[in-house]
Amino acid sequence: LAKEIRAYGGKILTNHQVLSIKQTNGVANSIVVSCNGIKNNIECDGIINAAGPWSGKVAKLINQNVELQLTRGCGIFFTGQLVSQAINRCRIPNNNDIMCPSGNESLWGTTSQVVYDPDTPETNQDEIQKLLLGAEELFPNIRKYKSFRTWSGVRPLIKPKKIDKDLPLSRGHLVIDHEGTGLKNFLTICGGALTTHRLMAEDVVNKLGNKFGFDIACSSHVTPLLN
C-alpha cells in the first residue's frame, strides 16, 4: 500500500506527531507536526482526520468535537491451521465469536471492552482466560494447541446518542464534515473495521474531492496494489 501511495506522488511521514492544526477565515489550511524535536509546517488545501481512536484528540486541536466510543478488542493466535475456513457463531455479535485460519496459524477472538484512553491496547490475563473459556465451547480440546501470541487494538466506534446495553455498537463508518461547525475543508472518518478500510477511504476522499469540484470516479476497488 505504501508503495502504491508513493507511486501516485503521495508522501508518508512516520513517527510524526500532530501538534496543531491551523485555519484562515474558517478554512483548514495547515498542520504543524514534530519528529525528533523538529517542527514542520505542512500547508494544504484540505485535511482528512483519519487518526482512528485518536481522532477525537486530533479534532480538539482545532476546537472540533468527535464523539467516539472506544472499545478494546483482543484475540489469540494458535500454531497450526485448526480450521480450513472461518467458523463464526450465528448469533448477535459478541465476545468469542470467530476462528479464522491464516496461513499456518489460526486466530480466535475477539473481545470488546469499553476503554476511555486510546493508548490502552495491552491485553491482560483476565481477557486471555475469557477467550480460552469461550474457545472451549466450540473447540473442547483447544488448550492442547499452542497459543503463541495475542494481539489487541482499540476500535474508534461511532458513539450513538443512546446506547442499548443489549445490542453491540455498530461497526459502520461515518464521515463528519466539520463545515457544519464552522470549519471548512476538514473531514473526520471514524468507525468501520479493518475489512472496510478501502471503502472508508473511497467515501471520505470522494467527499473532500467534491468540495474542490473533482469529478473523478474512484478506481481503488478494481485496481490491484503494486507487487
Residue 152 lies in a domain: yes
Q: What is the mean pLDDT of the chain?
A: 90
Query: What digits encode the pLDDT tens for the residues 183-194?
Result: 999 999 999 987
Q: 227: pLDDT confidence band, cut at 50, 70 and 90?
A: low
Residue 59 lies in a domain: yes
Report pLDDT for 161. Answer: 77
* pLDDT exceeds cutoff 90 at 20: yes
Residue 100 lies in a domain: yes
Query: What digits encode the pLDDT tens for the residues 58-112?
Result: 999 999 999 999 999 899 999 988 999 999 888 777 788 899 998 889 999 888 8
Report pLDDT for 22. Answer: 97
Look at the chain and report how many structural domains it folds into: 2
Among left, alpha and beta (phi > 0; psi -120 to 50; other), residue 116 is alpha
Report pLDDT for 19. Answer: 97
Containing structural domain, residue 179: 2-67+170-211
Q: Is the pTM of this model over 0.95?
A: no
* pLDDT exceeds cutoff 80 at 168: no
Examine the domain organization and report whether 82 and 132 are in the same domain: yes
Distance between CA atoms of 27 and 45, rounded to whole angstroms? 9
